[in-house]
Structure 1
């Protein structure tokens, strides 16, 4: 039903291609609009915005909010049932070349036993949209101090061609120690080992963008996040 695409085409609609490839098992479809299972991630993607109205109503029967992710299209929704809480003006960054980064910390591949700790740390620093089952989207790496998980970086959207670096979070008591830098570099190296392209998404003007650029990531395109809720 869906045709394969090259990397450039996939990066224009990363949620869509993740859901027809690597994350196919998490996909929920409503009339040609794709969403993640809401327990995993509340992202949706589309090509035809004329189909997003009914699909939004159907998906919101399973969750109270979700994001449509789109480079340059505006979704259409049923104003009687759905309202736009906010639009995040985001951007996509793609690795050009990873510089040498000294890894001085012990970086641990996090197993299922750390799901709750990851969830608590993400919600402490970036409360809102991370779900416990988001952990199932890809590998997570962490740094521990005094037996406590204090910094993480994970993988989120992915296909046969790219993997997204995400959930870059450090406990407020442990910032400015270069932990995030090392974790991003490590996660990026692991993606390269799989012969895939590392990417990431952030909001425009994010103070972390200069760090990402120092790690070899380049701004490539806008990627907008439309947050909808039930009325």
Structure 2
């Protein structure tokens, strides 16, 4: 599994999410309507692949552990590199689940999308919901906290979209939802992982749930010119 974790986007698109893959000879991306992420096995191929993928979407990411992608600045521009990190569950630390956690369905897509874009604007698509299972907590007749699944292989599932409405934070919702989704992944005999930005204030929370920082995992954000 460790070899797959070095390049999680690539292996997700080779396995569980193969149906979402767009391939460019050593570089592959998710369908941009699902998730604007890509990865490569051959860095010499990235420039041409970025040019081709940019015809489909005007903003996207390549995800790497430590490689710097080659790109053609005539057609795409590097907006920024997001310094991220990968965390892998070592041993689940139990948390009391006191809230009613609800499996989310297609009926909730607009609510999920609006909540994610309120808290973490910039990458989530409505069809990102198709990547895995999502769960939420409702208060005052509205969805106020969610956690879902994103990248997946035969061995691991990534926890993602851990967001809570700003008016409902500090109530333990993210902790309970992350614990719940972690258990759901374990039930499927897969290993839970997650990604976040370096220095994120949520890292201590994840560590208290049994996750451990394992490696850098960086998001190179490109725009079409």
**Selected match of 1:20 from 8, 11, 14:** 14
What residue number does 2:129 align with?
135
Query: What CA deviation, in whole Å up to 9, does each residue of 1:135-172 have, x standing for no partner?
Result: 00000000000211000000000011000000000001
**Selected match of 1:84 from 60, 78, 82:** 78
Query: What CA deviation, in whole Å up to 9, does each residue of 1:155-191 have, x standing for no partner?
Result: 0000110000000000011000000000000000000
What residue number does 2:181 align with?
187
Matched, 1:41 2:35: yes
CA distance in 1, matches of 2:109, 2:132: 12
CA distance in 1, matches of 2:169, 2:66: 35
Query: What CA deviation, in whole Å up to 9, does each residue of 1:45-80 have, x standing for no partner?
Result: 002111000000000000001100000111100011
User: What secondary structure is seen at the aligned counterpart in 2 of 1:39?
Assistant: coil
What residue number does 2:51 align with?
57
Query: What CA deviation, in whole Å up to 9, does each residue of 1:3-38 have, x standing for no partner?
Result: xxxx01000000000001000000000122110000
Name the count of aligned residue pairs.
Answer: 225
Question: How far did residue 230 of structure 1 move?
Answer: 1.1
Q: Superposition RMSD on alpha carbons, in Å?
A: 0.5
Query: What CA deviation, in whole Å up to 9, does each residue of 1:208-231 have, x standing for no partner?
Result: 000000000000000011000012
What's the TM-score once normalised by structure 2's chain length?
Answer: 0.99
What residue number does 1:154 align with?
148
Query: What CA deviation, in whole Å up to 9, does each residue of 1:62-116 have, x standing for no partner?
Result: 0001100000111100011111101011000000011110000000010110000
**Selected match of 1:98 from 60, 85, 92:** 92
Unaligned runs of 5+ residues in structure 2 are none
